[in-house]
Every structure is written in C-alpha cells, then in structure tokens.
Amino acid sequence: MTDPVEPEQQNLSDPHPPLMFKRLGLNHVPRVLLLERECYPDPWTHGMFLQELENVNSHFFVAYLDETIIGYGGFWLLIDEAHVTRVTVNPAYRRRGYGTDIMRYLMDQAYQAGAVIMRLEVRETNIPAQKMYKKLGFVTEGRRPGYYQSTEEAAILMAYRF
C-alpha cells in the first residue's frame, strides 16, 4: 500500500505530472513520424528525421509520460543562435500546458548550450502556437510572405532574447 501524500508535499500549482525528456533516437522515429503526419500539413519525412540524428547542430528531444510520447521538439544551435525546428504535442494531450513545458525545456537547453537568442517561424494561421510563444515571451520580428511553399502561407518570425 502506498503512503498517503501529506498535504504539504503536494504541489497544488502543478497542473499535471512532469514530462520526462529523452534525446531523439532511432527507436523513436516510427512513433514520432506518426504524430508528425497527424499534426502538420508538410510533415517531415523519415529521411529528414534520420538527418536530424546525424546533425551535430541539432538538439532534438522526445517528451514522455511513462511510456506515452506526449510530444517532441528541437532546435538547431548555430554559434549562439538557436532556431526552433519542431514543437509538437500529441493531439490527445493538448491544452494541458505540455507545449509550454516542451518549449521551456528547449529554451533551457538552448541557454545552457550558449544561445543568446532563440528564433522560430510559425504559420500565420497557426494562432494556438503564436499565443503559446507570446505567453513564453517571444516577440514578433517580421513576416515572410509565401514562406510555406505547399500552401503559399506567410510565416510570422518570432524571437526570444535570453
């Protein structure tokens, strides 16, 4: 029988169990690809994930709760600039703060690795992601028309300075 948790040990401000992060490995790729295809109009391919594994500038992580992949995200670090490549939450687990947790983890990893700025592009119509980035302190720095070739959609350019 497990001991009951004393009230003073409970973190009442923590809305969900903490995620566990692992570096992307070959074993993750099939499950990440399934989520990728479910979540993006222009999903990365198997080959692109393999390239990611080989890329020394890539910092890419998979977020778990027990055995379940909740999401994933990564960035490329070029000198002191981190560029977010992916931030994805499994659709069944959205609006619980996990996207924010994954971004905070990426920001922390980038800072520890020497980044002074983190940049990203987001589709102009992707309001959920834009709201999340703004809440995290990212500011809009520009707009690139036609950036996403498959839909000719504009990209909003956002940045966070550490």
Q: Which residues would be at the binding site for ligand COA (CB under 6 A)?
A: 39, 87-89, 94-100, 122, 126-129, 131-132, 135
Cβ 119 to ligand COA shortest distance, Å: 12
Pick 81 or 124: Cβ nearer ligand COA: 124
Pick 106 or 129: Cβ nearer ligand COA: 129
CB-nearest residue to ligand COA: 99
Please name the residue that has the structure tokens 């520009």. Answer: 142
Rounded-to-10 torsion of CA 120, 153, 124, 107: -10
Cβ 152 to ligand COA shortest distance, Å: 17
Pick 89 or 110: Cβ nearer ligand COA: 89
How many angstroms from the chain centroid is the CA of residue 131?
Answer: 14
Task: For residue 81, give both structure tokens.
Answer: 């600039």
> What is the CB-side half-sphere exposure of residue 41 using CA atoms within 13 A?
10
Cβ 47 to ligand COA shortest distance, Å: 20
Q: How far is residue 131's CA from residue 23's CA, in Å, rounded to a whole number? A: 26
Give the C-alpha distances (Å, rounded to integers) separating 89 from 5, 61, 105, 122, 126.
30, 12, 14, 15, 14
Cβ 74 to ligand COA shortest distance, Å: 12
Pick 101 or 115: Cβ nearer ligand COA: 101
Residue length of the chain: 162
Number of Cβ atoms within 10 Å of the Cβ of 73: 24
Cβ 156 to ligand COA shortest distance, Å: 9
Pick 114 or 140: Cβ nearer ligand COA: 140
